[in-house]
């Protein structure tokens, strides 16, 4: 049975969906004012893996990932560029989709945009005001009264006195308490017309937190299975989502027996770059599209999933090269083995071990370790047994979206940075010259050709029958 580490309970729990056989999952998506970076890549890759495994486990999954297309940073960037909000956000939504497609990720079933859910947000804010959990301040903003909601702080594990207003939460003169957070921001005179909407509280725009509550409840219901996002969202964003969602439903009288907003909260770990926090100011900020200029998308996915999704991960070119070497080893085990059309059944021992790893809170490092062991068995086996093991390797890796390409094409592609080197035709020409040298018993020349190719990043492997295969390092 699948076990999921629930941030709310701080423990692994058996996954019991609200509706048998179905799994509803909401993941906090991107704020679209710039290109996606590798931190975004980790969120996308992790929850792509989660959804794939749920579906491989026969769950009918509804996967929702939102788009924040109205936000202070978006407004500032649009003003700097002198362009409409919608033009800016659509450009970066298109770029996000392009990055996701190149990474080979599945599309969410729903990808709601904040600006399409203004009415739902206003409805939720109105209910919170009616239940006396929200108020309009002197500055026109509508705020949530944190201390009036029972249980606030359970997700972050801190008492109200320990908590501070978090990132992206401005403290203005209209708040009754520093911990209160904004639900509706009153429009400022200098802000463009496309940043404001009419409301019962005057023109303005939604706060950041309310959008996810409104969109998730509209698409998945007031009570759903899994909510995911980066660890940095645990507080204040997800804490506030719980408060406003359950507050709108139950008010100040929320009881322990009332159904929670979400059953399982999942958070992926941070990314560090060369053991430092990733930030633009440190100059260690990497966009997905820039990384993919030098590394195959499958390598980046493999790198991300070699670590457990809850663990911090250190990013560097050396780590990506190591990940590529691991993929080369796995693809090499599949090279030149006729797998047919999937007629060979999986070997149950390996399936059970892989499944046990994945069902242990999506333990991809252990699952990948099983793949490496299986690859070693493929290399040792012969005949029908080798074919069966290779088919099992490809099938299990497919649950993580690995090893689904032609092995020879992957191995000969090498790293993307190596594509400026020798062409395949040039390599084949040198191999023919080496064969001719060996036939003429000029083994010195043959060895020099092998060495020269190796210096160009090309490894030769002599096989029985006079066949020479090659791959890039």
Domain of 215: which CATH number?
Answer: 3.40.50.620
How does DSSP assign 219-263, residue by residue?
HH-SSEEEEEEEGGGIIIIIHHHHHHHHHHHHGGG--TTSPPSEE
Task: Let me know if residue 385 belongs to a domain.
Answer: yes
Does 17 fall in a domain? yes
Tell me the C-alpha distance between 291 and 288, whole Å: 5
Domain of 335, CATH number, reads 1.20.120.640
In a domain, 251, yes or no: yes
Give 342's DSSP letter: S
Q: Is residue 258 part of a domain?
A: yes
Residue 345 lies in a domain: yes
Asked if 345 and 426 sit in the same domain, the reply is no
Instruction: Identify the sign of the CA torsion 300, 304, 307, 312.
Output: positive
- In order of 82, 104, 214, the CA distances from 66 in angstroms are 26, 19, 11
pTM confidence score: 0.88
Residue where one domain finishes, among candidates 413, 433, 458: 413
Same domain, 212 and 138: yes
> What's the length of the chain?
473
Strand partners, 262: 224
Structure tokens at 453: 């190719």
Residue 27's nearest CA partner among 68, 55, 78 is: 68
Residue 210 shares a structural domain with residue 266: yes
Over its length of 473 residues, how does the chain's per-residue pLDDT go in tens digits? Answer: 999 999 999 999 999 999 999 999 999 999 999 999 999 999 999 999 999 999 999 999 999 999 999 999 999 999 999 999 999 999 999 999 999 999 999 999 999 999 999 999 999 999 999 999 999 999 999 999 999 998 899 999 988 877 754 434 445 568 999 999 999 999 998 889 999 999 999 999 999 999 999 999 999 999 999 999 999 999 999 999 999 999 999 998 888 788 999 999 999 999 998 778 777 667 788 999 999 999 999 999 999 999 999 999 999 999 999 999 999 999 999 998 987 654 455 668 999 999 999 999 999 999 999 999 999 999 999 999 999 999 999 999 999 999 999 998 899 886 655 455 677 777 777 777 787 777 777 777 767 778 878 777 788 877 776 677 777 76
Domain shared by 433 and 398, yes or no: no
Would you say residue 286 lies in a domain?
A: no
On whether the CB atoms of residues 5 and 311 are closer than 8 A, the answer is: no
Residue-range definition of the domain harbouring residue 108: 3-271
* Whether residue 348 is found in the same domain as residue 260: no
The pLDDT of residue 428 is 74
Residues 435 and 385 in one domain: no
Q: Single out the residue of 73, 66, 21 nearest to residue 43, CA to CA.
A: 66
One domain for residues 184 and 261: yes
Query: How many domains does the structure of the chain reveal?
Result: 3
Residue 164 has a pLDDT of 58
Same-domain pairing of 390 and 361: yes
Domain membership of residue 165 (yes or no) is yes
Question: In this predicted structure, what is the pLDDT of residue 320?
Answer: 94
CA 330 to chain CA centroid, nearest Å: 23
Cα 374 to Cα 352: distance, rounded to the nearest angstrom = 12
Nearest-angstrom CA–CA distance, 151 and 264:
17
Same domain, 402 and 425: no
**Pair (27, 135) in one structural domain:** yes
Residues 428 and 467 in one domain: yes
**Residue 284 included in any domain:** no
Q: Are residues 248 and 100 in the same domain?
A: yes
Maximum alpha-carbon separation in the chain: 93
Q: Which of 384, 413, 442 is the last residue of a domain?
A: 413
Q: What's the Cα-to-Cα distance from 127 to each of 130, 249, 261, rounded to whole Å?
A: 5, 8, 16
Please give the Cα distance from 416 to 397 (Å, whole number). 22
**Cα gap 253→131, rounded to integer Å:** 9
């Amino acid at each position: 049975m699948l076990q999921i580490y629930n941030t709310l309970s701080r423990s692994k729990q058996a996954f019991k969906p609200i509706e048998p056989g179905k799994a509803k999952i909401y993941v906090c998506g991107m704020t679209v004012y710039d290109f996606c970076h590798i931190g975004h890549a980790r969120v996308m890759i992790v929850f792509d893996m989660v959804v794939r495994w749920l579906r491989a486990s026969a769950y009918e999954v509804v996967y929702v990932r939102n788009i924040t297309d109205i936000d202070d940073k978006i407004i500032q960037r649009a003003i700097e560029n002198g362009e409409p909000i919608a033009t800016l956000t659509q450009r970066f939504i298109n770029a996000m989709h392009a990055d996701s497609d190149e990474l080979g990720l599945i599309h969410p079933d729903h990808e709601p945009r904040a600006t399409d859910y203004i009415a739902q947000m206003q409805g939720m804010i109105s209910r919170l005001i009616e239940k006396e959990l929200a108020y309009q301040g002197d500055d026109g903003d509508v705020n949530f009264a944190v201390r009036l909601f029972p249980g606030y702080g359970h997700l972050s594990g801190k008492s109200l006195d320990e908590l501070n207003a978090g990132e992206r939460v401005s403290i203005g003169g209209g708040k009754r308490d520093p911990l209160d957070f904004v639900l509706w921001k009153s429009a400022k005179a200098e802000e463009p017309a496309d940043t404001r909407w009419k409301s019962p509280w005057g023109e303005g725009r939604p706060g950041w937190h309310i959008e996810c509550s409104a969109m998730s409840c509209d698409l998945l219901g007031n009570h759903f299975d899994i909510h995911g996002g980066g660890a940095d969202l645990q507080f204040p964003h997800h804490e506030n989502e719980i408060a406003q969602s359950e507050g709108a439903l139950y008010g100040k009288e929320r009881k322990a027996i009332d159904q929670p907003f979400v059953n399982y909260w999942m958070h992926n770990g941070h990314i560090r770059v060369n053991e430092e926090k990733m930030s633009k100011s440190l100059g260690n900020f990497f966009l997905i599209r820039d990384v993919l200029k030098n590394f195959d998308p499958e390598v980046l996915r493999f790198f991300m999933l070699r670590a457990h999704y809850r663990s911090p991960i250190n990013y560097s070119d050396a780590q990506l090269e190591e990940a590529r070497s691991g993929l080369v080893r796995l693809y090499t085990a599949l090279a030149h083995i006729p797998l047919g059309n999937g007629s060979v059944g999986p070997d149950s021992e390996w399936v059970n071990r892989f499944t046990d790893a994945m069902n242990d809170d999506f333990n991809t490092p252990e699952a990948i370790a099983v793949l490496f062991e299986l690859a070693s068995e493929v290399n040792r086996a012969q005949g029908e047994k080798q074919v069966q093991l290779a088919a099992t390797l490809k099938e299990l890796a497919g649950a993580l979206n690995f090893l689904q390409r032609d092995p020879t094409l992957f191995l000969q592609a090498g790293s993307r940075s190596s594509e400026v080197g020798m062409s395949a035709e040039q390599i084949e020409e040198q191999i023919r010259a080496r064969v001719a040298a060996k036939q003429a018993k000029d083994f010195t020349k043959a060895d020099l050709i092998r060495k020269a190719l190796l210096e160009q990043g090309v490894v030769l492997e002599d096989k029985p029958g006079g066949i020479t295969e090659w791959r890039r390092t």
